[in-house]
Every structure is written in structure tokens, then in C-alpha cells.
Chain A
Amino acid sequence: MTILLYDQLHIYLIIALFLLFCGIGGVIYRRTLIGMLVSMELILNGASLNLVALNRFLVPENSYGLAFALIIMGMAAAEAAVALSIIILIYRKYQHIEGENLKEMKD
């Protein structure tokens, strides 16, 4: 009996790793703050996919991973709301949302 493709743990872990790869690259590579926020959402999604896949394959008798994935979703929604309000404040004050040029606190 061959194992089906979607019944293997490694495929889900590699997809989650690819999402982490894209997210970390995007946080460094993107120029505007909204692009960085999009990349951060990708990282959070990779984490929750990891949790659900490990729960489904390694500990199938409880459902803590699903619960933590739901908690991550709620946390990501709150984080996006606060971050976007801060980004709009930055736009009103400086008239741009580029991450590179926000170095008032650094200087």
C-alpha cells in the first residue's frame, strides 16, 4: 500500500518553511511598511500550518494545535489593526510610509 501524497508530514513542513522563507525575505526586502506587514502575515501563517500539521500527524488524540492556530489567527487580526493604525499615523506625520527613511529615533 502506497502512502498518499497528502498523508505525509514532510510536505506540510516544507510548505510552512517556504512561507517562513518568503516572509523573512520580504521583511528585509520590502520598502514600504505595509509590504513588511504582509510578509509578517506570511510568517504567522507558516507557524500555524506547522502547529496544525504536527498536531494531525504526531498527537492525533488531542487538539491543542488547532486551538493554538485559532489563537494565532486572533492575535494576527489584533496585530494587523494596531500596526495599520500606526502606519496611517506615520503617513499623516511624514507623508510617506517607507521603512528606510524613518530614522528619527536612530539619529
Chain B
Amino acid sequence: MNTAEIIFLLVIVITMGGAAMAVLSGSIIYAIVGLVTAMCGMAGLYVYLHSSFLAMMQILIYVGAVTILIAFAIMLAGPLYRRPREWTTLGKFTAALGVALVTFVVFSRFIGEAFPTGYAPAFGMGTREIGQVFFDRLLLPFELISLLVVVGILGAIMLALISRGRR
């Protein structure tokens, strides 16, 4: 086992631990920290999948934008000491675990049967190929994504203005 594999195992542990912390932690602040950890681990996995551009975008968009947005929402949604604990009843925990385990078992059978093993072709897709795919074949989804972001921004501003007028 060489150094790259050891770092890969470390990245896997970071990703899984961050995801588990984002779900199981008692406070919402620790959930945000877990989400950031999982996102950084995902960026490492993208590096191992030979797509460094996607890793950089992951850090920029998720760690830089989405998490900061969620942190602002936590700060705006009232003081922390009046917040209820994140833990709910035992029955709800059992239900969540059951549904998630059923999903895990079904899809793990699908993974085990459907895909070939031990096949790793060369892969070198940089920003040039991604840009060519976007502007040759996927032009309509690309423009629709920009339209979606604009509509999302306008909708958020409209919701804020409506609530201010009602107060």
C-alpha cells in the first residue's frame, strides 16, 4: 500500500465521518461543521477521480457559498438557547434507521451485480473538454441553470420584501 492509497483512505474517513456528524450531532452548528468536513472530503475524492476542476468548484460553491448561507440562516433564525435539541424520539430514530437501511440494502445489491470490477481506463478531462460539452451539446441546460439562479435570487428577495411589508 503506497502513500496515495493511505491518503485516499484518509479522505474516505473524512467524508464518511463528516456525513455521520452532519446527521447525528445534537446541535445544528456541529451539523454545519460536519457538512463542511464532508464537502472537503468530496473535493479530495474528485481529485482522485482526475477531475480537479470539479474539486475546486466543490470547495468554492459548497464550502464557500452554501455553508455560509446556512450559517447566516442559523444566525437569523433566533437565539440558540431557545432552540430545541435536535434529538427526537426513539421511535423516529428507529424509523429513520429502518428506511435508510432498506435503501442501503437495495442499492448495495444493485451495485454488487451491475458493474464490472477492476477496469480503470485513462481519463483526462480538463476545463477544455467540459467547456466544449457545455457549449456544443448542453447549451440549453446551461442557459436554464443561469435562468434558475436568477429566478431563485429574485424569489428570495421577493420573500424578504413581503415579510418586511407585513410586519
Nearest neighbor of B124 in chain A, beta-carbon distance: A60
Interface SS of A by simple majority? helix
Convert B108-136 into 0s and 1s, putting 1 for each residue whose CB lies closer than 8 angstroms to a CB of A: 10011001111111110100011001100
Asked whether A22 lies within 8 Å of B19 as measured between CB atoms, the reply is: yes
Asked whether A77 lies within 8 Å of B66 as measured between CB atoms, the reply is: yes
Asked whether B108 lies within 8 Å of A49 as measured between CB atoms, the reply is: no
Residues from chain B with Cβ under 8 Å of A37 in the complex: 70
Residues from chain A with Cβ under 8 Å of B46 in the complex: 49, 52
Asked whether A69 lies within 8 Å of B54 as measured between CB atoms, the reply is: yes
Q: In whole angstroms, how far apart are the Cα atoms of A18 and B56 in the complex?
A: 23
Asked whether A32 lies within 8 Å of B57 as measured between CB atoms, the reply is: no
Residues from chain B with Cβ under 8 Å of A14 in the complex: 108, 111
In this complex, the member of A22, A87, A93 whose beta carbon has the largest number of chain B beta carbons within 10 angstroms is A22
Q: Does B93 lie at the interface of the complex (its beta carbon under 8 Å from any beta carbon of A)?
A: yes
Q: In whole angstroms, how far apart are the Cα atoms of A74 and B48 in the complex?
A: 22
Convert A72-84 into 0s and 1s, putting 1 for each residue whose CB lies closer than 8 angstroms to a CB of B: 0111111111101
Which of these, A17, A52, A56, contacts B104 with CB under 8 Å?
Answer: A17
Residues from chain B with Cβ under 8 Å of A29 in the complex: 23, 88, 92-93, 96
Asked whether B121 lies within 8 Å of A8 as measured between CB atoms, the reply is: no
Convert B1-30 into 0s and 1s, putting 1 for each residue whose CB lies closer than 8 angstroms to a CB of A: 110110011001001100110110000100
Asked whether B66 lies within 8 Å of A70 as measured between CB atoms, the reply is: no
Which of these, A13, A19, A63, A89, contacts B19 with CB under 8 Å?
Answer: A19
- Which A residues, 48 to 74, have Cβ-Cβ distances below 8 Å to chain B? 49, 52-53, 56-58, 60, 62-64, 66-67, 69-71, 73-74
Residues from chain A with Cβ under 8 Å of B107 in the complex: 17, 20
**A34-B74, A38-B31, A66-B51 given; A81·B115 CB < 8 A:** no
**A6-B5, A63-B133 given; A42·B35 CB < 8 A:** yes
Nearest neighbor of B65 in chain A, beta-carbon distance: A77
A82 to chain B minimum Cβ distance, whole angstroms, is 5
Q: Does A105 lie at the interface of the complex (its beta carbon under 8 Å from any beta carbon of B)?
A: no
Q: In whole angstroms, how far apart are the Cα atoms of A8 and B112 in the complex?
A: 13
**A38-B35, A76-B66 given; A25·B16 CB < 8 A:** no
- 17 A-B pairs in the complex with CB atoms less than 8 angstroms apart: A5-B1, A25-B23, A25-B97, A26-B23, A30-B23, A32-B83, A35-B28, A35-B86, A38-B70, A52-B46, A53-B49, A69-B54, A73-B58, A76-B66, A82-B152, A82-B155, A85-B155
A-B pairs with lowest CB-CB distance, top 8: A78-B152, A7-B120, A28-B96, A25-B100, A29-B96, A26-B23, A85-B156, A63-B125
